[in-house]
C-alpha cells in the first residue's frame, strides 16, 4: 500500500471516531403528564373532627452535572398540614358605618349562612407550597409539554425571577407573593393528590371563620385593637431587630381564635375564592338571608379579594370585615410581557389557606382555574 493510500485509510477511520467523540450529550425530553386517572380514593373523614392531610411528590436532584447524561436521583417531597373543623352557622357579614377604620366596600351589612367546612389551621407554608412547586409528577407551566394542555390542567408554577421569599424567613413561615391563579392551581393539585375537593375559602366562609362565631365586632375579641398583640403579627408586633420595618413570623406562634385557627389576622393577607364585584354586597343585602354567597371567579386575572391584613398593616386593616381588592398594580414591577400569572411582584404580604366543604355548593363543584397568560 502506498503512503498516500495509507493516509487516506487512517483519515477515513478517524473521522467517525472524531464525530462520536464530539457529539453533544443528548438531554432527556420531558413528556406531557396526565394524572387525571391517578386521583386516589380518599379515606372517609370522621364527621366534624380535625384531621391531618399529607402530600407526597418528587423532584430530581442532579448529582453530577458534568456526566453525560448528567447523573441524577429522585428525592421525595413530603408535606402535611392540619385541617380544623368549623361548624356552619349564620352571621352578619360586613361592617357597620360606625366601625373604626371601615371602608365603603365593607357594606352594606347583610345576613349570611354558611355550611360546615374544614379550614387549614395555619396559612399555607413554604414546605406545603414547595411540594406543589417542585412536584415533577406534573410539568411546569412554561415547559414545552404544557402547551398541549388546556388552562384548567394542573401545571406547576414557573420559576420566580427574584427571591420568592423577598428576604422573609422560609422554614415554618407562610408562603407569599403568589397570584390568585397560583393559589387556585395549588388547590387543584391538592385535589389530584388527595382526592378531596380542596379550594380557597369564599369570602363568606373566611369572614365567618375569622369572627370565630363571636358576633359582629371589629375583631372576634371585641372592638379594641390592643387585643391584636396576642393574636396577630401586624405592623405593631412584626418588627424585629434585623427587620425594623417588619417581617413574617413563624405560623402558630400567636394565640388562636375560638375555632382554633391561627393567624387569621395578620402575617399575610389571604386570598379568598371570590371575584370582586363592586355591587356584590348590595345584591346580597336584598336577601333576608343569603345562603352560602359567592362570586365565582372567572378567566379574568383581576380582581379578587384578599382578607385578614398582614405583617405590614395597621390594626384597622386586620379587622374581620376588612377587604383588599387586587389590581394590576400588584404586578407593576414585573418586566415580562406578557406578565406572569404565577407570581406577584413586591407583594410579599399575600398568601392563602385552604378549605374543604362538608358538602360542596353546586356552583363550586369541579371549579378549576381559568386564567391564561396573555398581554393585558
Q: Could you give the CA distance from residue 224 to residue 220 in angstroms, rounded to a whole number?
A: 10
pLDDT tier at 66 (50, 70, 90 boundaries)?
confident
352 and 185 Cβ atoms separated by less than 8 Å? no
pLDDT tier at 25 (50, 70, 90 boundaries)?
low
The pLDDT assigned to 269 comes to 98
Is pLDDT above 80 for 240?
yes
Find the mean pLDDT for residues 327-331: 94
Cell 369564599 found at: 202
Reported as a single tens digit per residue, the pLDDT across 243-281 is 999 999 999 999 999 999 999 999 999 999 999 999 999
The pLDDT assigned to 376 comes to 54
Domains, the chain: 72-364 (3.90.1580.10)
Reported as a single tens digit per residue, the pLDDT across 272-321 is 999 999 999 999 999 999 999 999 999 999 999 999 999 999 999 999 99
The pLDDT assigned to 363 comes to 96
Q: How far, CA to CA in Å, does 84 sit from each of 37, 206, 274, 357?
A: 29, 13, 22, 11
Which has the closest alpha carbon to 82: 261, 308, 350? 261
The pLDDT assigned to 65 comes to 87
Q: Which residue has the higher pLDDT, 178 or 67?
A: 178
Report pTM: 0.89
Find the mean pLDDT for residues 83-90: 97
Reported as a single tens digit per residue, the pLDDT across 117-166 is 999 999 999 999 999 999 999 999 888 888 778 767 899 999 998 999 99
Q: Which residue has the higher pLDDT, 107 or 12?
A: 107
Is pLDDT above 50 for 19?
no
Q: Could you give the CA distance from residue 52 to residue 48 in angstroms, rounded to a whole number?
A: 13
Q: What is the CA radius of gyration of the chain?
A: 25
Q: Which residue has the higher pLDDT, 199 or 37?
A: 199
Provide DSSP, 66-115: TSSSPEEEEEEEEEEEEEEEE--EEEEES--TTSTT--GGG-S-EEEEE-
The pLDDT assigned to 24 comes to 55
Residue 225, Cβ neighbours under 10 Å: how many?
A: 21
Alpha helices in 166-259 (DSSP H): 180-194, 203-211, 228-231
DSSP letter (8 states) at residue 355? E
DSSP letter (8 states) at residue 242? S
Find the mean pLDDT for residues 188-197: 97
Is pLDDT above 70 for 11?
no
pLDDT tier at 47 (50, 70, 90 boundaries)?
confident
Is pLDDT above 80 for 211?
yes
Find the mean pLDDT for residues 337-348: 92
Amino acid at each position: 500500500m502506498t503512503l498516500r493510500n495509507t493516509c487516506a485509510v487512517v483519515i477515513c477511520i478517524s473521522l467517525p471516531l472524531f464525530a462520536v467523540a464530539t457529539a453533544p450529550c443528548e438531554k432527556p425530553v420531558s413528556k406531557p403528564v396526565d394524572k387525571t386517572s391517578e386521583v386516589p380514593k380518599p379515606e372517609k373523614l370522621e364527621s366534624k373532627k380535625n384531621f391531618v392531610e399529607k402530600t407526597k411528590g418528587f423532584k430530581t436532584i442532579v448529582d453530577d452535572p458534568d456526566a453525560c447524561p448528567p447523573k441524577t436521583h429522585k428525592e421525595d417531597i413530603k408535606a402535611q398540614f392540619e385541617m380544623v373543623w368549623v361548624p356552619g352557622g349564620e352571621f352578619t357579614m360586613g361592617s357597620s358605618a360606625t366601625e373604626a377604620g371601615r371602608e365603603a366596600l365593607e357594606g352594606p351589612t347583610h345576613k349570611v349562612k354558611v355550611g360546615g367546612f374544614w379550614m387549614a389551621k395555619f396559612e399555607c407554608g413554604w414546605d406545603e407550597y414547595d411540594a406543589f412547586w417542585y412536584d415533577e409528577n406534573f410539568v411546569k407551566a412554561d415547559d414545552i409539554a404544557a402547551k398541549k394542555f388546556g388552562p384548567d390542567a394542573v401545571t406547576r408554577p414557573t420559576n420566580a425571577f427574584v427571591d420568592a421569599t423577598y428576604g422573609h424567613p422560609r422554614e415554618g413561615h407562610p408562603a407569599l407573593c403568589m397570584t390568585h391563579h397560583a393559589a387556585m392551581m395549588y388547590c387543584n393539585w391538592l385535589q389530584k393528590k388527595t382526592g378531596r375537593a380542596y379550594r380557597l375559602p369564599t369570602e363568606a366562609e373566611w369572614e365567618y371563620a375569622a369572627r370565630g362565631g363571636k358576633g359582629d365586632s371589629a375583631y372576634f375579641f371585641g372592638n379594641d385593637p390592643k387585643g391584636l398583640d396576642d393574636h396577630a403579627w401586624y405592623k405593631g408586633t412584626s418588627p424585629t431587630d434585623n427587620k425594623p420595618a417588619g417581617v413574617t413570623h413563624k405560623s402558630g406562634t400567636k394565640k388562636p381564635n375560638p375555632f382554633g385557627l391561627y393567624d387569621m389576622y395578620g402575617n399575610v393577607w389571604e386570598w379568598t375564592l371570590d371575584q370582586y364585584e363592586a355591587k356584590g354586597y348590595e345584591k346580597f343585602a336584598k336577601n333576608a338571608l343569603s345562603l352560602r354567597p359567592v362570586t365565582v371567579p372567572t378567566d379574568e386575572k383581576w380582581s379578587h379579594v384578599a382578607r385578614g391584613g398582614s405583617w405590614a398593616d395597621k390594626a384597622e386593616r386586620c379587622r374581620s370585615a376588612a377587604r383588599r381588592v387586587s389590581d394590576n398594580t400588584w404586578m407593576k414591577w414585573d418586566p415580562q410581557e406578557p406578565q406572569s400569572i404565577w407570581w406577584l411582584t413586591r407583594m410579599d404580604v399575600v398568601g392563602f389557606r385552604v378549605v374543604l366543604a362538608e358538602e360542596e355548593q353546586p356552583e363550586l363543584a369541579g371549579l378549576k382555574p381559568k386564567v391564561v397568560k396573555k398581554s393585558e
